[in-house]
Chain A
Amino acid sequence: CGFHLRGNIAMPFHTVYLAGDENNAVLVDLRRQLRLNDVEVVDTAPQAEAVIRVIQLRKEKDILSLNAAGKAREYRLFYTLAYAVDTPTGKTLRAPDRIILRRDITFDDSQVLAKAQEETLLYNDMENDLIQQLMRRLATIKLDTAQ
């Protein structure tokens, strides 16, 4: 059926600078993923071939459905990652772009603590998904098309 085993994701750069809150779990994981794909994460922007700017990491929560008493019965969780990729001299390699993921979670007033921990599980799951999708997008950048 034409499927073949995937090799390494060939990244278009070998050195990259990550701009954003370095202690954020998403950036920590992104750094690890970049290293696994043979990209060195350097300490200053001028050393890098590309600068990945994490512009926004936002978690949101909307009511999805209500019960008969008008209380939330399901929530929809959103996780937004906005990023841009530039050259160290400020030319655009990838204009600001965003990835928005969502997961639904049931809610129960009598299980507030349990549901809060379940939310954490879903956000962690989304974080992995965000990084995977971001890596796919980064791999399509072409360094010679900077504007």
Chain B
Amino acid sequence: EGLPALRVDPGLLAPNAPVSKSAAPRASGGEAALRSKEGTAPVKPAPGPGADAAAADADVGMTAEAGSTVVVADRIDGQQDVELSAVGNAQLVRDDTHVRADRIIYREVLDEVEAIGDVRLSRGEDIIRSDKLRVRLDEQTGEVDAPEYAFSRVVQKQEGMTPRTVIGSGHADVLKLNGENQYALKNATWSTCKPADPDWYLKAGELELDYDRELGVARDSTVVFKDVPIFYMPWAEFPLVAQRKSGFLPPTFGTSNKTGVDLSVPYYWNIAPNYDATFVPRYMSRRGLQLGGEYRYLTDDASGTIRAEWMPNDRVAGRDNRAAGSILHQQTFGSHWSTYLNLNGVSDKHYLEDLNSRLAIASQSNLVREGSVSYASGSWWSATMLAQSYQTLTGDKPYRRLPQLTLGGQRPFLDDRADFIFSSEYVRFSHPDPDKPDGSRFVAYPSVQVPLGGTAFSLTPKLGLHYTRYALDQALIGDKKEITRTLPIFTLDSSVVMERDTRWAGRDTIQTLEPRIYYVNIPYRDQSAIPNFDSGLYDFNFAQIFSENIFSGSDRIANANQVTAAVTSRLIDSDSGIERLRFALGQRYYFADQRVTLPGVPARTGRRADILASLDGRLSQDFSLNSGWQYNPRDKITERFNADLRYQPGFAQVVNLGFRYTRDVLRDLDVSGQWPLGGHWYGVARYNRSLRDHRVTEALAGLEYAGDCWVFRTVFHRFATKENAVTQAVFLQLELTDLASVGSSPLDLLRRTVGGYGTINQPVADPVFGQP
């Protein structure tokens, strides 16, 4: 048995009363077919009079009980259990399958539908039109002659993102249904454009669409863009619903003064949901061929990326085997242990500036090689072991830390009325240059803090003892190879939080007023015999003025008798708790002169430190500002000033205006933006000029065209690489939406360079996993 019940719904037939009458005198089989086979299937109520008209173009009104079949037509005749013939506006419904045609023949024993003349088959979201089809309903197998089809799926790329519908459509000579969600086509086309006149399509001798795996496989295929064949592939896999799928990514074509004509054709291999790889063959007309690859993995307890590039021969540099590589790995073992590895290297010092047009990497002078193992006790303490060195491409070489061991923690005691804080470190410093002193350093810094006060008012005294011991290989001064330094450090941190209800930009808002006073006392110790392994002067900013030491690292601990006063005021949206705007003002007062200095750096003079002010947040719906100002009241000069104003009234509409100033170091103007130019065109640009050096450090100009189902972008990029050298490059890229739709270098460049940049086509599948 197993076949679903067949039922011609008399209720549905009723509006066509004359026709059903004409069926009545026919063979007894026709009458029998009007009954439910089991005789128990309930009869659906008749649809309203309007339903017929609506049914002409949709399946409105045509529903069937689960598993049963409903046939309706102008005239129905045939024989029960054998063959039922429905002629004239014939419709058949089984579950979510609807067939409409001039004529439908249903063979119950075979569970087969044959439809002839203006056939429309819909199943779930899939629609097939043809002149003739033959389908077995339950098996979902069969064949359609010369179909036109449109298959829709809803895609939600990530949690929190708006779902969207991807429609793949086309036509073929023959379509075979091979079970649920499986289609095989001959001489077929496929496109995510609007079906009527697609701007691009894939044309394939054989095409398989697997909507279970959301994968298309094309053989003997050509990509046709604006009726021009642009790319032939004997075999290709592509994603049907914009998920991560293996396939070619949009090729990038460009030219630059470093490489000549530059063509990359990345191939993405989606090995498994948590493993993938990208291979990037790259051809540079001046230099030769480069092979690049990236492999990524993500498991429950580990993640990582391995990258490598290799050039067998570089014609310009006259070198063989130029290469670069990196390994990034993170792993946890149970809940306590974790490990981290970050290795980077290049075959020669000029590799990055010669071959890598990605500025973010080319602008590095030191490539880190480090690995660490950490233990988090889960209660209050943790420990880390690190080994770190660098490959230096230009300039000063950093010290190696081989190894660094740290142990630290924080534990409340006295019924949570006090905290014990402990930090300690052992480092062995060695320098690649023999004339730099090597040595080891041990630091232990236990302290106790007692938080007093409640939520609105707090007062926290903290007292600690900072102990350091050096064992140097060579003495810096005299024969001082063993040096110890012990310093008591006292701080007192007090703050008050006040609030009031107000209105800001038409919304209920909480305004806070948070004065804070921070006192530090550290006595003086002569540290001139101690080399400088890892110390530097912190930038003067709001994080630094509330820290104990003006130096980073442990080689210098500045004598201090100083108080910092600051006040912060925030505007917080009452409904959402979102901080809209923050203003802060602070200054430090010294009661003692600075006596501890870094080698070659003069001591601070004067008792009053610079004033810091900042204003950050949204000024209105469309304007936001990030700004900071450091003012030196002694000499009445601005030490540092930066302001970044952003105007962003809508999507793909952003203008950034930035000015950055640091006395004697930089004076930069930075303008960037993205704006619709009308008629599907968008412009994007950045101009970054050093007013101090009278030089353009980075310039970028691009045009993007957003078609319905494709995007074209071209980007000109110019940036400084040396005092008197620049790299200039032009990229071209054609992205066919949902066919090869993953980020690539021009997009990365635009995102990085133009703050607030909006990708002008729909958000596409991003091969980055584990990153919502």
Contacts and interface: CB of A to CB of B under 8 A. Distances in A.
Given A8-B455, A23-B378, A69 B723 contact: yes
A110 B366 CA distance: 10
Of A4, A73, A106, A118, chain B has the most CB atoms within 10 Å of the CB of: A118
Interface in B482-509: 496-502
A114 B533 CA distance: 9
A121 B697 contact: no
Contacts of A95: 160
A73 B720 contact: no
Contacts of A9: 455
Contacts of A111: 536
Nearest to B375: A23
B572 interface: yes
Given A111-B536, A112-B390, A113-B534, A55 B159 contact: yes
Given A23-B378, A73-B665, A68 B723 contact: yes
A7 B457 CA distance: 9
A113 B366 CA distance: 11
Contacts of B665: 73, 106
Given A9-B455, A112-B398, A121-B543, A70 B771 contact: no
Interface string B655-678: 000001010011010100000000
Nearest to A126: B543
B363 A4 contact: no
Contact of A65 (B541, B551, B668, B695): B668
Interface in A83-127: 84, 95-96, 102-106, 108-115, 117-118, 121-122, 124-125
Contacts of A7: 455-456
A35 to B, nearest CB: 9
Contacts of B578: 133, 136-137
Nearest to B539: A106
A128 B662 CA distance: 27
B552 interface: yes
A103 to B, nearest CB: 7
How big is chain A's contact interface, by range? 35 or more
A143 interface: no
Contacts of B376: 23
A133 B752 contact: no
Nearest to A73: B666
A74 B662 CA distance: 11
B670 to A, nearest CB: 8
A4 B534 contact: no
B648 to A, nearest CB: 14
A5 B457 contact: yes
A52 to B, nearest CB: 14
Interface residues of B, number: 81
B720 A66 contact: yes
Given A65-B697, A69-B723, A6 B456 contact: yes
Contacts of B2: none
A114 B547 CA distance: 15
B577 A69 contact: no
Contact of B500 (A4, A8, A102): A4
Nearest to A121: B543
Contacts of B160: 84, 95-96
A56 interface: yes
B626 interface: yes
B359 interface: yes
Given A110-B396, A113-B533, A136-B579, A4 B366 contact: no
B636 interface: no
B398 A104 contact: no
Contacts of B497: 5-6
Interface string A6-24: 1111000000000000110
A14 to B, nearest CB: 17
A74 B690 CA distance: 13
A60 to B, nearest CB: 10
Given A103-B541, A109-B394, A68 B720 contact: yes
Interface in B536-550: 536, 538-539, 541-544, 547
B335 A71 contact: no
Nearest to B721: A70
Nearest to A102: B626
A121 B666 contact: no
A79 to B, nearest CB: 12
Given A58-B771, A108-B536, A70 B720 contact: yes
B173 interface: no
A133 B364 contact: no
Nearest to B412: A32
Contacts of A121: 538, 543-544, 547, 552
Contacts of A67: 666
B9 interface: no
A63 B359 contact: yes
A114 B498 contact: no
A62 interface: yes
A113 B544 CA distance: 17
B722 interface: yes
A45 to B, nearest CB: 17
A136 B577 contact: yes
B449 interface: no
A96 to B, nearest CB: 3
Contacts of B398: 112-113
A104 B772 CA distance: 25
Contacts of A66: 363, 688, 697-698, 719-720
Contacts of A104: 628, 642
A63 B666 contact: no
Interface string B385-409: 0000010001110110100000000
B308 interface: no
Contacts of B721: 69-70
A82 interface: yes
Contacts of A22: 335, 378
A103 B543 contact: yes
B575 interface: yes
Given A70-B363, A121-B547, A5 B496 contact: yes
Contacts of A74: 660, 666
A67 to B, nearest CB: 8
15 contacts: A3-B500, A5-B496, A65-B670, A70-B353, A70-B719, A70-B720, A72-B364, A106-B662, A111-B536, A113-B401, A113-B536, A114-B534, A118-B538, A137-B578, A140-B576
Interface of B: 159-160, 335-336, 338, 353, 359-360, 362-366, 376, 378, 382, 390, 394-396, 398-399, 401, 455-457, 496-502, 511-513, 533-536, 538-539, 541-544, 547, 551-553, 572, 574-579, 626, 628, 642, 660, 662, 665-666, 668, 670, 688, 690, 693, 695, 697-698, 719-723, 725, 752, 771-772
Given A111-B536, A117-B534, A121-B538, 4 more contacts: A3-B511, A6-B498, A74-B666, A121-B544
